Amino acid sequence: MAFDFSGKVALVTGGSRGIGRAIAIGLGRGGAKVAVNYAGNEAAALEACALVKAAGGEAFPLKFDVADSAACQAAIDGIVKEHGGLHVLVHNAGIAIDGLLLRFKDEDLERQLATNLKSAFFLARAAARPMMKQRAGAIVTLSSIVGEMGNGGQTAYAASKAGLIGFTKSLAKELASRNVRANVVSPGFIDTDMTKAIPEALRAKMLEGIPLGRLGSAEEVGNAVCFLASDLASYVTGEVVRVNGGMYT
């Protein structure tokens, strides 16, 4: 599915692989110029950029740490200065550090909250000013089914992803008067490198809990993100769109 992003500049964090790459390609298919953020794998980022260009868009890699407030501000300032604005921000970057509560280390909690949750605050704060000035913008944050229904062994991850929902709903109210929208996409179990590593027996059990009987694809998540980022969703803000095959409704 292609949406119209002609003349739009977008930033996708964690855009070098998986769901982030699918989002970047979807935006490129609509004609967007996409900044593909990555943390360390330059080869993957360059490959993602090539796929965005093949889909019909423009793309360039952008390395910075989303957990670093100053780095987020500098990256977005640079995009606006170099490319004339920022119209779409997709906060997709995140990590999952699993562990039981009683054994969870303080440093792992801080790292997970910084990468998954604090980063959304840093990025939105940096993007809000240029978006408000141009009186147009769309911010889409990637949460998770785990942030809505919980999961044993993932208290920290669930907290970070649930926090994104409350953050984005509040952000939507703050920015609405300037025609800047903020929404959440909450994926379920998606067929990525992470889920490929799940043992077959556990994978089969997971599928039993999904009414549609299969894992979702990164492209299906990307379609939901692109819809919310597009003008077709011009009257949608503060919403959580679930892409989970009916596992949680």
Mean pLDDT score, 51-72 = 98
Q: How far is CA 132 from CA 72, 91, 200, 218, in A?
A: 17, 18, 48, 30
In degrees, to the nearest 5, what angle opens at C-alpha 179 toward C-alphas 178 and 182?
A: 110
Q: Residue 192 pLDDT more than 90?
A: no
pLDDT in tens, 220-232: 999 999 999 999 9
Query: Residue 198: its pLDDT value, please?
Result: 78
Pairwise CA distance, residues 54 & 67, whole Å: 30
pLDDT of residue 225: 98
Q: What count of other Cβ atoms lies within 10 Å of the Cβ of residue 4?
A: 12
pLDDT computed for residue 218 by the predictor: 97
pLDDT digits (tens, 9 = 90+) for 177-187: 999 999 999 99
Could you tell me which residue, 204 or 36, shows the higher pLDDT? Answer: 36
Residues belonging to the active site = 157
As assigned by CATH, the class of the 9-243 domain is alpha beta
Cα 191 off chain centre by: 16
How far apart (Å, rounded) are the C-alpha atoms in residues 166 and 183? 11
Is the CB of residue 74 less than 8 Å from the CB of residue 99?
A: no
Check whether 191 has a pLDDT greater than 80.
yes
pLDDT of residue 230: 98
> How far is 242 from 246, CA to CA, in rounded Å?
8
Residue 84 DSSP class: S
For residue 88, pLDDT beyond 70: yes
* Whether residue 237 has pLDDT greater than 80: yes
State residue 87's pLDDT score: 98
- What is the mean pLDDT of the segment spanning 143-153? 96
Instruction: Report the pLDDT value the prediction gives residue 201, as an integer from 0 to 100.
Output: 85
Q: Please report, for the chain, the start and end positions of each structural domain, with discontinuous segments joined by +.
A: 9-243
| pLDDT value of position 1 | 60
**Lowest-pLDDT range of 44-58, 102-116, 174-188, 199-213:** 199-213
pTM of the full predicted structure? 0.96
Mean pLDDT for 184-210 is: 88
